[in-house]
Amino acid sequence: MLKLKNYTVDEIFSDVTLTFEAGKTYVIMGSNGVGKSTLIHSLMGKPGLPEVSGSAVFLGSDINTLETDQRARLGMFVGFQAPTSIPGLSNFQFIKQATGIKVTEIKDNLTKFKDIAGTLGLPNDWDKRNLNTDASGGEKKKNELIQMLMMDTKLAMLDEPDSGLDVDGIKALTSELKAWRTEHNTLIVVTHYDKLITGLEPDAVIVLQKDGALVGDQSLADKIFNDGFEGV
């Protein structure tokens, strides 16, 4: 799905070589400031970041030369840690633009949207609400999840999707993510929340470091919870 070789973001981290396969779930951990969010956003081509080097190949395409929207249309999705609010743009209107829904498909997609929103415990009028405006932190995170599920996402990279969610929200999030993850797609979650990690049953736990990345199974996460990042 995604292959990184000597992937480096100047002054943040260097020489990350990783392979993310289809049908697998990955958890990324790392100490504060090591560059977990930077890794995700650099893979999406965020402007203004330090220079990126090394190779990043997604489904056979070298994505380093692509614009952000081109990467997204290939199937890459990033779930923001702090989603942006845009007043004047409704949640469903935004989904319509992002997914290119045709007029004849609006009704079915609106039903799907409302079903997901209902499952996540969002208000009935969520489709009409302005994008992430007057929403709590948890509601914004749920909105990211709706977008991911509505779009043709092949690789989901979620940056601390648990922050701001209440207990029921975490359960719903875990359940939705597990249901979404099939043999055809890949899930990458940046988190330090043990219950989410346990619930997701990741195939690999990755610890991002300044000069590379450690890869292990869930026991690596357990070790970090016991000994801290210094212990690995």
Contact flag: residue 20 with other proteins (CB under 8 A): no
Q: Work out whether 98 is an interface residue with other proteins (CB under 8 A).
A: yes
Parallel, antiparallel, or unpaired for β 204-209 and 25-29?
A: parallel
Q: Tell me: does residue 69 bind other proteins (CB under 8 A).
A: yes
The DSSP code for 230 is: G
The count of residues in the chain is 232
Q: How far is the CB of 216 from other proteins (least distance, A)?
A: 29
CB of 131 vs other proteins, minimal distance in Å: 8
- On the 0-12 / 13-18 / 19+ scale of CB atoms within 10 A, 197 is buried
Q: Contacting other proteins (CB under 8 A), which of 22, 44, 52, 214? A: 44
Give the separation between CA 201 and CA 23, rounded to whole angstroms.
13
- Answer yes or no whether residue 46 interacts with other proteins by CB under 8 A: yes
Kindly determine how many residues on this chain lie close enough to bind other proteins according to the rule CB under 8 A.
Answer: 24
Closer residue to other proteins (CB): 97 or 136:
97
Question: Does 161 interact with other proteins (rule: CB under 8 A)?
Answer: no
Amino acid at 205: V
Structure-token pair, residue 136? 């709590």
Question: 3-class SS at 3?
Answer: strand
Q: Does 77 bind other proteins (CB under 8 A)?
A: yes
Q: Can residue 106 be called a binding residue for other proteins (CB under 8 A)?
A: no
- Give 114's contacts (C-beta < 8 A, 6+ positions apart): 124, 126, 127
The residues binding other proteins (CB under 8 A) are 44, 46-48, 67-69, 72-73, 77-78, 80, 83-84, 86-89, 94, 97-99, 147, 151
